[in-house]
Amino acid sequence: MTLFKQIALLLSILLLTILTTVLVLNFNTATHSVQERLYEDAKNTATSLSLSLGSAKGDESIMSTMINANFDSGHYTQILLVNNADDVIYVRNTSGTLANVPTWFSNFITLDIPIASAQVSSGWNPIGILYVKSDNSYAYEELYMILTQLLISFAIIMFISLVLLYTMLHLILKPLVLIQKQAEAIMRNEFIRQENIPHTTEFRDVVKGMNQMVDKVEDIFEKGNSAMASNKDLLYKDTLTSLHNRKYMTLKLPQLIGAESKYNDGTMVFIAIKGLIELNKTLGHQKTDDLLKFISKMMLDISLDVKDSIVSRMNGTEFAILFPGVSVSSKENDFQDFYEKIIKIKEDIDNADDIDFGVDIGITSYKKNQSVAEILSRSDYALSLAKSNSKIEIYESAESKDDLALGKETYRNLFENALENDGFELAFWDVYDNKNKKTMSKIISIILEDENNSYSFGQFIAPAIELGFVSQIYIFALKKLFSMQDTLEEINYSIRLSPEFITDKNSFSALQELFELHPNNVSLTFEFPDHVVIDNLATVKGLAILIKENGYNVSIEQFAGESDDYNYLKEIKPTCIKADISYLCELIEKSAGSLASLQVMTDSIGVSIVATSVKDKKELTSLVEHGIEIIQGPIVEDIS
Amino acid sequence: MIKILLLAFMYTSLFSQLIEEPLLKKIELKYGPYAKNRFVYLNTTMEDLKGKSLETQLNTVNRFFNDVRYGMDIKVYKVSDYWATPFEFLSRDRGDCEDYVIAKYYALRYLGIPAEKMYFTYVKSTRFKAPHMVLTYFDSTSSEPLVLDNTNFKIFPASQRPDLIPIYNFNADVLFKSKKKNTQGKLKNPKTHKKWDDLMNNIKREKI
């Protein structure tokens, strides 16, 4: 029961008790007053009648007549005359009728009608006593009217008091509602400040305290956020040229050329600068470094007009430039210019005639389905040709993988059949909680099966994207999961959403429809790739709200610390972030503080870190030493 | 049981006084030693009267209180009509006809005269041509009463008081007992007479 209800109930009972007590006291007073008046009336009658009776000098017939005259003219229940020996001389009785009073009232209220008495004398001698008892029907009628008026008055007072009471309570406790909302938000790791400081001292102190706590958590998050932004530079940037490094290129390549990439092809350029060591000796480090920076700037200029292009320094003398979605021919001239500018630079350098300074450029095109290793290998080959020929070498992909392995129609038929005949199966992989030694959740993987073959997600996602089946496949898989709820374990399940599904405009409505049809009976987490979240924050936020409103959770996977600002974590509010073991190990190796920065930030908003692709115990030990206990990857099968 | 009650009565009579010591001290404090002495004298008189004949008791009590000076309520108590307690009456040494009647009734009750034999009788004094009150003693309700009057030091039978015309007799004790009997013991309102009820309350709290 809320505090408002408790206080309101208590005060209502108190008010009712007070009003009832006052009503009872008032009614009792009125009853007493009516009885007093009845007594006084009877007493007056008794005294005056006794004086009159004295004049009868003991004549009973005269006295009876006098009594009759009085009895008939007034409201009396009884007039009784007794002699000194208490023997009745004369009596008149009547029973009053309570016509205007309900029976329950006369039964409930016992009116003690007082009897007044007076001595009757004849000359000097007392001859008897006269008793007069008033009629109670009049008293009952008056009391009933008083009770009715009292009840109406008190009902009105009660109503007005309750309205005032509830209004006052509502106003007084209004800040408490805001405090409660703030507290609930804090429990959900949402740290909101309350700007309206209540006037009530106790509430004001609580709000100030919570605001301070929120500020501190905010500070902690911001410190982690800044440290992470710095770590990003240390981790992914070449300190001299400010270009990205090999790690960054390795990280991004699968995203940009993998099966789920939005680009179907692209161009990879490998550039090797020769003669740098000799230049160092001739020009000195500073000038050589300046030259290197200048050449880097030239490379960046070439890539400026290509979205998602990456320029990275792979090692001391070699650079790589990735142009997603760009053909070789469209960049060929740029690199020809670049090549010639380098030759010009050599000519401008004093005492460099004997130095073999220059660049070798290997350019290769790639298609979507080629593996990262294959593209890198082909690029290396192109560069080696360029080195041997001392020119720009263009190595077009001989074996074009433009067409899908099975052909579009075959895949279309496969997908259609699978959607129609329940051809998609769900496979589950454990996420292990090493601290509590138990499976924490299960990751869902979608598998396509036909009569003869089984296709993994990685195998069928590219044709699915190309043929526009991704959304249907996800909805199908989710429906299948919901239909399996009776056979599922009491554990959290998580499904990774592909970039194609997330960025598909129809996904929101498809999910909405699915959630409406299937009430939440499964503990399910939807995983969003980190780079997709960064690039499509508004879309992801919309989906996250929809998912959470329907009782499911959101997490972030492929977290690689590539953002400059992690406030999106507060906006998305994932239950966890999943990061590849290689990234986490990189943080650990770099410095203890690098991982700590991430942990400080995630702890401050109640987000746990899950290490993915953990392969061996050495990696696990390292993670455990640094406080990361939730893992997934090949090792889980060995230890769980 | 009767023996025990008799012993208790004897003990009370032997050792109690009409006006007890604490009240005497209060009277002395408020009205001075002379007032106190009047009550001491009353106590002594009452003790002397114990066991004496009815005639002696009536005469002595009548005479004792008739020594108090007459004073109208408006002058003594600043109200038009007031029934004073015997303590107020003797302390102030002043009072009107009702006060004499009350004091005499109180003293005679102390001496053991039954309540039903004494009445407060409202009379008209033909001598003063004014309403008046006397205490009447009835040997029985049908017998001729004796009149204890503050305007007459001697007690006379009613027939020898032609200057008084009886109007109304009043005895609260009798009314109360009769009323109790006639309501079969369910008497919830013990009130009988306004002035009498006020007087009883004042006597109970020893108003001086």
Q: 10-residue block means of pLDDT along chain A (640 residues)?
A: 85 91 92 86 90 87 90 87 88 78 85 84 90 86 90 93 90 85 82 85 89 88 86 86 90 81 87 87 86 92 91 92 90 89 82 79 85 87 84 64 64 91 92 92 92 86 87 93 88 93 92 88 92 94 95 94 89 93 86 82 90 92 91 86
A305 within a domain of the structure (yes/no): yes
For residue B168, the chain A residues in CB contact (below 8 A) are: 50-51, 54, 119, 121
Q: Exposed, middle or buried, A209 (CB in 10 Å: 0-12/13-18/19+)?
A: exposed
Segment B88-100 shows an average pLDDT of 95
Q: Are A230 and A241 contacting, i.e. CB atoms less than 8 angstroms apart? A: no
Name the token pair of A415: 């997908």
Prediction ipTM score:
0.77
Given the DSSP bridges, would you call strands A524-529 and A492-496 parallel, antiparallel or unpaired? parallel
> Based on the domain organization, do A321 and A418 belong to the same domain?
no
Cα A234 from Cα A228, distance rounded (Å): 10
> Based on the domain organization, do A442 and A579 belong to the same domain?
yes
pLDDT reported for residue B8: 41
> Based on the domain organization, do A323 and A461 belong to the same domain?
no
Q: Which of residues 96-125 of B touch A (CB under 8 A)?
A: 119, 121
A74 within a domain of the structure (yes/no): yes
For residue B142, the chain A residues in CB contact (below 8 A) are: 125
Three-state DSSP at B169 gives strand
Residue A60 neighbours by CB distance under 10 Å: 12
> Based on the domain organization, do A359 and A433 belong to the same domain?
no
pLDDT reported for residue A194: 86
Cα A217 from Cα A215, distance rounded (Å): 5
Pick from A540, A550, A559: nearest CA to A613: A559
Cβ distance of A112 and B121 shorter than 8 Å? no
> Based on the domain organization, do A355 and A412 belong to the same domain?
no
> Based on the domain organization, do A372 and A413 belong to the same domain?
no
Cβ distance of B121 and A124 shorter than 8 Å? yes
Number of domains into which chain A is organized: 3
For residue A86, the chain B residues in CB contact (below 8 A) are: 178, 181-182
Segment B115-130 shows an average pLDDT of 92
Residue A164 to chain B, least CA–CA distance (Å):
44
Order of strands across the sheet that contains A88-93: A88-93, A76-83, A125-134, A115-122
Q: Are A226 and A593 contacting, i.e. CB atoms less than 8 angstroms apart? A: no
The backbone region for B140, taken as left when phi is positive above 0, alpha when psi lies in -120 to 50, beta otherwise, is: beta
Instruction: Say yes or no to pLDDT of B145 above 90.
Output: yes
Neighbouring-strand partners of residue A580: A612
Q: Average per-residue pLDDT in chain B?
A: 86
Name the token pair of B182: 């006639």
Neighbouring-strand partners of residue B136: B119, B147
Neighbouring-strand partners of residue A433: A438, A630
Cα A144 from Cα A417, distance rounded (Å): 87
A191 within a domain of the structure (yes/no): no
Domain boundary among A342, A373, A395: A395
Pairwise pLDDT comparison (A353 vs B7), residue with the higher score: A353
Residues 6+ apart with CB under 8 A from B59: B155
A273 within a domain of the structure (yes/no): yes
Three-state DSSP at A131 gives strand
Name the token pair of A291: 């030259």
Range of the domain at B111: 2-204
Instruction: Say yes or no to pLDDT of B106 above 50.
Output: yes
A255 within a domain of the structure (yes/no): no
Cα B132 from Cα B150, distance rounded (Å): 10
Q: Are A113 and B156 contacting, i.e. CB atoms less than 8 angstroms apart? A: no
Q: Are A303 and A309 contacting, i.e. CB atoms less than 8 angstroms apart? A: yes
Residue A258 neighbours by CB distance under 10 Å: 18
pLDDT reported for residue A400: 47
Segment B40-67 shows an average pLDDT of 95
The answer to whether residue B158 neighbours chain A at the CB level (below 8 Å) is yes
Residue-wise DSSP of A323-337: EET--HHHHHHHHHH
> Based on the domain organization, do A453 and A542 belong to the same domain?
yes
Pairwise pLDDT comparison (B113 vs A586), residue with the higher score: B113
pLDDT reported for residue B5: 39
> Based on the domain organization, do A430 and A308 belong to the same domain?
no
Neighbouring-strand partners of residue A367: A265
Written as one letter, the residue type at B64 is: F
Domain boundary among A121, A139, A160: A160
A342 within a domain of the structure (yes/no): yes
User: What CATH number does residue B191 fall under?
Assistant: 3.10.620.30
pLDDT reported for residue A163: 93
Cα A521 from Cα A502, distance rounded (Å): 23
Q: Exposed, middle or buried, A124 (CB in 10 Å: 0-12/13-18/19+)?
A: buried
Range of the domain at A95: 3-160
For residue A52, the chain B residues in CB contact (below 8 A) are: none
Instruction: Say yes or no to pLDDT of B92 above 90.
Output: yes
Cα A181 from Cα A185, distance rounded (Å): 6
Neighbouring-strand partners of residue A557: A529
User: What CATH number does residue A22 fall under?
Assistant: 3.30.450
Neighbouring-strand partners of residue A78: A93, A133
The answer to whether residue B131 neighbours chain A at the CB level (below 8 Å) is no
Q: Are B132 and B124 contacting, i.e. CB atoms less than 8 angstroms apart? A: yes
pLDDT reported for residue A640: 67
Tokens 């410095």 belong to residue: A591
Written as one letter, the residue type at B53 is: S
Number of domains into which chain B is organized: 1
pLDDT reported for residue B14: 43
Question: Cα Rg for chain A, rounded, in angstroms?
Answer: 48
The DSSP symbol for B117 reads: G
Neighbouring-strand partners of residue A267: A323, A365
Instruction: Say yes or no to pLDDT of B12 above 50.
Output: no
Name the token pair of A393: 């070498």
The answer to whether residue B141 neighbours chain A at the CB level (below 8 Å) is yes
CA B177 to chain centre: 18
Q: How many CB pairs under 8 A join A and B?
A: 67
Question: Cα Rg for chain B, rounded, in angstroms?
Answer: 17
Give the max Cα distance, chain B: 54
Q: Are A426 and A444 contacting, i.e. CB atoms less than 8 angstroms apart? A: yes
